[in-house]
Amino acid sequence: MKKYMIKSALPVLLLFFACFLCSCNASDKTAVNIGGNSADNDGAYHPATDDRGVFVGQDKEVAGYYKRVAIAKDVKTLEEVQELNDEGKRGYLVANEDGTAYFELDGEKTEYVFDKQNFYLRDDTERNNGFPYTYINGRLVITDETTVTQYLRLTDEELEAYLQLK
């Protein structure tokens, strides 16, 4: 009986080992960056893939209306987590086709300019302190040194309601 169990388990173990080796090899070769590209160890750039190997396309045409849906940053207490969660679901970002943008929260606007890689505060005329962003499938993710903020493109109904408030 033991001999039969060992013989029947052997193919399964070999398959498991082969899968393990393949996954190790793939993770050593490719490093994905936030901009949506990856580089092999030889330095050649290829489209990024997610952890399932599915192509992750990034569209840089970000002009539109967005609602803020989440903020992530290093917080220490449960109260800070709850406050951040509540704050992360408020505010609107409007990105215009001319490369200008603003974030509006409680009637106050913060103005930005943006290019194909970064958002900049409007006052940053030298464009030294950009906030890199990624835009995929209607979700805009902007990062700075300590915070990751996610925005979701407004639906037609949400856009209509937002514009009526203006």
pLDDT digits (tens, 9 = 90+) for 61-105: 789 999 999 988 887 788 888 888 888 889 999 999 999 999 999
Least confident of 30-34, 75-79, 158-162: 30-34
pLDDT value of position 67: 95
Q: How buried is residue 121: exposed, middle or buried, by Cβ count under 10 Å (0-12/13-18/19+)? A: middle
Which fold would CATH assign to domain 64-165? Lipocalin (2.40.128)
pLDDT value of position 59: 56
Residue 76, token pair as written in the block:
């220490």
- Per-residue pLDDT for 5 more than 70? no
- Per-residue pLDDT for 17 more than 90? no
**Mean pLDDT, residues 3-19 taken together:** 46
- Residue 146 to residue 6: CA distance in whole angstroms: 52
Q: Residue 25: which residues within 8 A CB-CB, separation 6 or more?
A: none
Residue 106 zone, left/alpha/beta (φ > 0; ψ -120 to 50; rest) = left
Using 50, 70 and 90 to split pLDDT, how confident is the model at 16?
Answer: very low
- Residue 122 to residue 113: CA distance in whole angstroms: 6
Domain(s) of CATH 2.40.128.270: residues in the chain: 64-165
pTM of the entire predicted model: 0.61
- Per-residue pLDDT for 132 more than 50? yes
**Mean pLDDT, residues 111-119 taken together:** 91
- Residue 111 to residue 103: CA distance in whole angstroms: 7
Contact 118, 103 (CB under 8 A): no
